[in-house]
Amino acid sequence: MKTQHASARLSHRFSAIFWDLVAVLLVLGMVVFLAQTSRDLMQPLAGPGETVISLEPSGLPEYVLRTSLRMLAAMVLSLIFTFTYATWAAKSRRAGQVLIPLLDILQSVPILGFISVTVVFFMSFAPGRMLGAELVAIFAIFTSQAWNMAFSFYQSLRTVPTELVEASRSFRLSPWMRFWKLEVPFAMPALVWNMMMSMSAGWFFVVASEAISVGNTVVTLPGIGSYIALAIDQRDLGAVGRAIAVMLIVILIYDQLLFRPLVAWVDRFRFEQEADRNPPRSWVLMALRRSRWVAMAVVPLVRMWRWTYRAGNDGASRELARTARNTMGSGVISWLDWLWYGAIAVICAVSMWKITVFVLQGVTPDEVGTTVFLGCVTMVRVFVLIAVASVIWVPVGVWIGLHPAAARIIQPVTQFMAAFPANLLFPLAVSGIVVLRLDPDIWLSPLMILGTQWYILFNVIAGASTIPGELRDIGINLGVRGWLWWRRIALPAVFPFYMTGAVTASGGSWNASIVAELANWGDTTLKANGLGAYIAEATAAGDFHRIVLGIAVMSAFVVLINRLFWRPLYILAERKFRLG
């Protein structure tokens, strides 16, 4: 018996040492990764004629590391933006009336629009140095990641189950504690899936963010996006194939080291009472949990975080403040609303006047009408692609979300497909259209679906994965199946998540139009008439008057569509289809 106990203790000790070593290797590997990829930030920019990118395979590891660091930095910034911007919009009625329409506009502004107006600003932080160009690239990637995550978090905060909110009030939790103990955990499953989608969106636009060309300003950063741009320009199919293979490897590494541990960790926050029969697992999360060194290192941080819960947790003062707000005269609130709306009206009027004066300095009124017509053409493409993506991916997403074992296999595949840059399909698309003499206005449009379908799929998967197990069991016991099951269980459960995906997919489609409506392969260029091609041509020419006009028209289309179509459906999802 003593021998068995000694053997068990020895085995436990070796197991603990093993997981300690694994955790240390992971942490040190991340430190070395950050150090190696950030060492060249203060190096001077390459001068005209200098070679920055080589298509030799030996340069791919360095390019991948540089791009991965930019993606990671943009993701951290996106999380900070999400937790602040979306929370403010969800908690404040007045702020939400401005911030959510503003978010609609921001997600529709093409990435080339952000680059064209910020490249000089960021380059001025470190003139002639790589740091300024890196800031431009990181901000460009940030604009392809942040809006989707903010919409997801906002939707989750607005649909927290009523019984959970009442329970937090019964326990007299402070707003800070309720946020981190209730609202963030409830929002995490959907947020993690949208983080995957946002990372994929960053890969989708990595070419535009690393190979920057605005008028006479040309900045090329070492990275996989610049590598792809050069391969397309030189029509090097071998280099395109190598880029695809390297991207697949990097996405799989991201899946194993970042997203799979997050998916396994947030499984504890699923809103259901029945334990998951087949919970997701991650060897990285297991190593971090079983490592004694990691546990000792996080103890001070945990204590400091718990101290923030106690700070300011004065239930009596909060109740007194709430009572004072409830007893405030309606006249005071009315005057505050009028002042708020008046300030917004003044700002909008001044902005409209400034934009109109700037645009008309270089554009005739007739061209404004033409731009609006091009916006209508792109709008038709967006609606058709959203409908097609919904019909295809809603059933697929529900099935994946209800089968965790399948999700673990399909997750990296969908990440790779979502991250696949449309530019890599240009050789096939352009060559096929030219050889078959097809109409670019029709056959370039499918390229836009790469910027739409994945938002819907990932959000539907997140929604289906949160369907309580007891609800599914009730449907089985009552014999609910077929269309009745979809109408009574599946679709109502995923509808709020689908709306988040559809709204962001709509903005993503407008954004993707700048890539899809103007396709290049070497010296061959195909153009589909639309607002995206108009903005892409204006950006390449450095024509800021037409860039502003195109972005203004696109923003107006997106705001009107969201106000008249998506917003009513969003409110319906909040009121009728929330859990609890």
Q: How do residues 336-362 score in pLDDT, each as one tens digit? A: 667 766 776 777 777 778 777 777 777
The answer to whether 42 and 126 have CB atoms below 8 angstroms apart is yes
Please, which residues bridge with residue 218 across strands? 213
Q: How confident is the model at residue 563 (pLDDT cuts 50, 70, 90)?
A: confident
DSSP character string of 523-543: TEEEE-SSHHHHHHHHHHHT-
The rounded Cα 140 to chain-centroid distance in angstroms is 12
The most confident of 122-131, 497-506, 569-578, by mean pLDDT: 497-506
pLDDT in tens, 442-467: 888 887 777 678 888 888 887 887 77
Beta pairing class for 524-527 and 518-521: antiparallel
For 16, how many CA atoms within 13 A lie in the half-sphere containing its CB? 10
Report how many domains make up the chain: 1
Q: What is the mean predicted confidence (pLDDT) over 176-182?
A: 86
The pLDDT value given to residue 351: 74
Per the domain annotation, does 159 fall within a domain?
Answer: yes
Per the domain annotation, does 394 fall within a domain?
Answer: yes
Number of H helices, E strands in the chain: 28, 4
The pLDDT value given to residue 477: 76
pLDDT in tens, 137-151: 888 888 888 888 898
Output the CA torsion 269→274→164→195 (10° steps): 20
DSSP character string of 368-412: HHHHHHHHHHHHHHHHHHHHHHHHHHHHHHHHHHT-HHHHHHHHH
Per the domain annotation, does 99 fall within a domain?
Answer: yes
Per the domain annotation, does 247 fall within a domain?
Answer: yes
Per the domain annotation, does 468 fall within a domain?
Answer: yes
Higher pLDDT, 334 or 494: 494
Which three-class secondary structure string do you get for 474-496? HHHHCCCCCHHHHHHHHHHHHHH
Residue 244, both tokens: 């695809």
pLDDT in tens, 396-425: 988 888 887 777 777 667 766 766 666 667
Residue 360, both tokens: 């008309």
The rounded Cα 80 to chain-centroid distance in angstroms is 13
The pLDDT value given to residue 423: 62
The pLDDT value given to residue 84: 93
Beta pairing class for 211-214 and 518-521: unpaired
Per the domain annotation, does 115 fall within a domain?
Answer: yes
DSSP 8-state class, residue 357: H
The pLDDT value given to residue 320: 45
Alpha-carbon gap, residue 524 to 430, rounded angstroms: 8
Q: How confident is the model at residue 379 (pLDDT cuts 50, 70, 90)?
A: very high
3-state secondary structure of 213: strand
Alpha-carbon gap, residue 153 to 340, rounded angstroms: 25
DSSP character string of 132-201: HHHHHHHHHHHHHHHHHHHHHHHHHHHT--HHHHHHHHHTT--HHHHIIIIIHHHHHHHHHHHHHHHHHH
Higher pLDDT, 341 or 44: 341
Per the domain annotation, does 401 fall within a domain?
Answer: yes
The count of residues in the chain is 580
Higher pLDDT, 104 or 135: 135
What is the percent of the chain where pLDDT is above 90?
6
The pLDDT value given to residue 87: 92
Please report where in the chains the tokens 């008439």 appear, as a residue.
529
Instruction: Specify the CATH number for the domain of residue 503.
Output: 1.10.3720.10
The pLDDT value given to residue 318: 52
pLDDT in tens, 467-491: 777 777 777 777 777 788 888 888 8
Higher pLDDT, 351 or 315: 351
Per the domain annotation, does 50 fall within a domain?
Answer: no
Q: Which amino acid is at 432?
A: G
- pLDDT score of 53 more than 60: yes
Range of the domain at 180: 9-41+57-271+279-576
pLDDT in tens, 95-107: 887 888 788 777 7
Residue 100, both tokens: 């959510």
The pLDDT value given to residue 316: 43
